[in-house]
Chains A and B, each alone.
Chain A
């Protein structure tokens, strides 16, 4: 079975500062990795995904993530955050076998302060 650990439950930052949200996963089989964002009272929106190929993945809203197989990590980064980036961020994995069952981390609440 897969598991996902998001190392920080809350990350406060100031506007225009860089941010990194950390995600580690555990799986005995190959997986695909995702980052989703959730705004209050909304569903989940996909930020980016890693399926194969280049380990640096670029997503929407200026976010990027790097897949590190040896460290089983998939950290999310943004060089300069905005107030509007305040939201909860979820890292998720799915087995790379057609089994479409997402396993999510507990989430990281990113709060961007002026």
Chain B
């Protein structure tokens, strides 16, 4: 069974640009969550999607958005990039029921210059 796939692995963008990151969950998983990891703030929850609907949202500005497609693949978008958006962005997928665990992808390393 293939794991969670995130593309691209690495990105370098300029301040003010926008970026789109992609996440393909494990087959059959309908929940996809996104996390931002930085040395200063650690791992912070961005949002969770389930069956194409945003079910939970963390405390991030509106520049951070996401969506989920009918095949459960998810994208997150960051507009008007700031230097502080440089981080490792992790995607996790999980199956039905709260007893299932979250499986993480390898992440996308975003550097804003």
Do residues B102 and A100 form an inter-chain contact, with CB atoms below 8 A? yes
Fill in one digit per residue for A90-114: 1 if any B CB lies within 8 Å of its CB, else 0: 1010101111111111110000000
User: Which listed residue (B42, B56, B98, B101) contacts A104, Cβ 8 A?
Assistant: B42
Q: A43-B90, A90-B43 are in contact. Are A99 and B101 (CB under 8 A)?
A: no
Do residues A96 and B98 form an inter-chain contact, with CB atoms below 8 A? yes
- Report chain B residues within 8 Å CB of A99: 56, 98
Do residues A104 and B43 form an inter-chain contact, with CB atoms below 8 A? yes
Do residues B31 and A100 form an inter-chain contact, with CB atoms below 8 A? yes
- Which range contains the number of B residues in contact with the other chain? 20 to 34
Q: A44-B90, A103-B45 are in contact. Are A49 and B98 (CB under 8 A)?
A: no
Which parts of A7-52 form the interface with B (CB within 8 Å)?
32, 34, 36, 41-46, 49, 51
Which parts of A53-85 form the interface with B (CB within 8 Å)?
none
Do residues B98 and A101 form an inter-chain contact, with CB atoms below 8 A? no
Chain A positions within 8 Å of B, measured between CB atoms, are 32, 34, 36, 41-46, 49, 51, 90, 92, 94, 96-107
